[in-house]
Chains A and B, each alone.
Chain A
Amino acid sequence: MIRYIAGRLLSILLTFFVMSLIIFLMMHAVPGGPFDGNDMPVSDAVKAKLNASLGLDKPLYVQYFKYMWGVLHFDFGVPFQSPGETVLELLARAWPPSLILGGLGVLIGAPLGILLGMAAALRRNTWVDYLASAVATLGLTIPVFVTSMMLILIFAVWLGWLPASGWGKPNSWILPIIAYATIPLATYARYTRSAMLDVLNKPFVTVLRAKGLPERKIIFQHVLRNAALPMVTVFLPMFIGTATGSIFVEAMFRIPGLGAYFVSSIELRDYSLEMALILMITMMFCVSYLLSDIAYALLNPRIRVGGGER
């Protein structure tokens, strides 16, 4: 197990460098630079000077190694669009709102989705199942900015209970979190339902019933535990996907989160920030896949205990 984890960590490190190289090359393959925007014309002489001050005049490989050397010392450089702070400072400022939005959204949406999926599986082909399916389908098909708009319309405009935008007081968090929670809720509901049904149709569930085990114990101890096996492999990565926030929800509710920077860093050729954002997400996904694989191995005796005669 320890060897396995060490191997995986090594491969994550490799992924990190390969990824950084690919992003770096792709960024620079796109024509134009940070000072080529039309809205802020600068003379070629000034541009050259600016480029030199940022090290952008050097050959690409020098730039790359310089950047990666900095990264190894936790120096991700300075964002061009906000030169008054470092990339790390920008992340520390803009990430918390996204993290709170995404994190709370998942923490609220996921358990509700799991409960909904369980109810649907246990009462399959009844109104509970149909209702859960309808909710899940709506949650997945209605774009989140439409949901946001409807929430604002109902609770902020018509009822006036909650603020329509901003990120100041905790009551301004409620609507965006609800809007955001619909995504994990729908996804987990669908996933849980199919995972549960899959297990409920296995012969060993009939055996458990034939042994006279109470239904409650069959569901909560045996079926859930087995259904959790395929679920852990998607749970964490999905969590990471959402913890980086949503561009649309943040835009709708005017939340000063990370979402906007994903777009602006690409538009403005803000190399340092773009690199930092993409590498950060890559790493988080790698680690979450590793953690979920470990969780899977711990839950599954076939891997934990190993082979046997068959």
Chain B
Amino acid sequence: MRLVDIENLTVDFPQHEGTVQAVRGVSWHLAAGESLGIVGESGSGKSVTCMALLRLLREPPAKITADRLELVGENMLTADRHKLASIRGRVAAMVFQDPMTAFDPVFTIGHQIIETIQAHRSVSKSQAKAEASSLLAKVEIKNPAAMLESYPHQLSGGMLQRAMIAMALSCRPQILVADEPTTALDVTIQAQILQLIKGLQSELGMGLVMITHDLGVIAETVDRVVVMYGGRVMEEGPVQSIFDAPAHPYTQALLRSIPGQTPGRHRLIEISGGSPSPVHPPAGCPFHPRCDRADAKCKETPPFMAIAESRHAACWRLP
């Protein structure tokens, strides 16, 4: 069974200046035990997609429609509050970008992990505490007992992100959604956290959705990649084949523009122009105004088509 099944998801935010079309017809799925990377720049709709999947957006103002929005067979569009609360944290858990603001500042780390355990399972407080302690040990916290008694402001970002991961794993979820889990952290801490997430994912056999703007993080952690731009999926496929032979002009340009791949001081290959307006997105392919291969046809929306074995892309100029 598919852990996540999204078909034709759109998310709109009506505003005074017009409707922000954050997600415009996105489809992807996640198989059991698989790790999927969703890569995109700010405003690409990658985070909103996952927030919509768990129905974490405030509705209204958010308006979510989809042909299918399923989490382990459960229809997330029709689920009521109680159903949603029982799914979140238990079936699918989330790790967020900034660990410094992700914990309630007035409660201890221990309290916040224990309340998560007790929200989904009927265990005694002392048993929950023992479990919290062993979870912290699992994320390589040296002194779990002290960590349980600590308040968020007493800990560093790296420590808090470990605690966040421990909390996310506390109800043994089938899916872990990590939304830019290392963006706020230093590069050495980032490497440690990524290695930790990767290790736990294969050890526990969870599905992993890694949302990031960093292609390096994608290259290091996931099996399959979804590339998003302007609220749409541009390209999708196994990580090796995407890096070896990117098909979509956007993916190609993105990979070319990353600095530091060749020795010596040099000008970079840049993508001209800026991100598309979320209120008035360009007609057709959202990348066509910045694309050097675009022609008149690109003003029509390209179909998301199979281009090779388990690879899909949305571009008229292919193959």
Contact surface of A with B, Cβ cutoff 8 Å: 125, 202-204, 206-215, 217, 222, 225-226, 229, 299-302, 305, 307-310
Contacts and interface: CB of A to CB of B under 8 A. Distances in A.
B54 interface: yes
B154 A226 contact: no
B104 interface: yes
A215 B96 contact: no
Given A204-B101, A207-B102, 17 more contacts: A204-B102, A209-B56, A210-B94, A210-B96, A212-B86, A214-B82, A214-B85, A215-B81, A217-B119, A225-B106, A301-B153, A302-B151, A305-B151, A307-B154, A308-B150, A308-B153, A309-B155
Contact of B103 (A204, A212, A299, A308): A204
A213 B90 contact: no
Contacts of A208: 104
B156 interface: yes
B98 interface: yes
B110 interface: no
B93 interface: yes
Nearest to A226: B106
A309 B157 CA distance: 10
6 contacts: A211-B115, A225-B106, A301-B108, A305-B154, A308-B150, A310-B153
Interface string B240-270: 0000000000000000000000000000000
B71 interface: no
B144 interface: no
Contact of A210 (B89, B106, B154): B89
B105 A214 contact: no
Given A302-B153, A305-B151, A214 B104 contact: no
Contacts of B120: 212
Contacts of A310: 153-156
Contacts of A203: 96, 98, 101-102
Given A207-B103, A302-B105, A212 B153 contact: no
Contacts of B98: 203
Given A203-B101, A213-B119, A308 B154 contact: yes
A299 B115 contact: no
Contacts of B206: none
A212 B156 contact: no
A214 B47 CA distance: 23
B95 to A, nearest CB: 9
B194 to A, nearest CB: 20
B85 A213 contact: yes
Contacts of B96: 203, 206-207, 210
A212 to B, nearest CB: 3
Nearest to B149: A305
A148 B85 CA distance: 48
Contacts of B54: 210
Given A203-B96, A206-B96, A301 B90 contact: no
Contacts of A210: 54, 56, 88-89, 93-94, 96
A198 to B, nearest CB: 13
A301 B106 contact: yes
A202 B96 CA distance: 13
B87 interface: yes
A204 B102 CA distance: 4
B107 A222 contact: yes
Interface in B114-166: 115-116, 119-120, 150-151, 153-156, 164
B167 interface: yes
A65 to B, nearest CB: 49
A213 to B, nearest CB: 5
Contacts of A204: 101-105
A212 B88 contact: yes
Contacts of B116: 211-213
A310 B103 CA distance: 15
Given A210-B56, A211-B167, A309-B155, A202 B106 contact: no
Nearest to A210: B94
A208 B101 CA distance: 12
A207 B115 CA distance: 13
A113 B66 CA distance: 41
Nearest first, the 8 A-B pairs at minimum CB distance are A308-B154, A212-B89, A212-B88, A211-B89, A301-B151, A210-B94, A203-B101, A211-B116
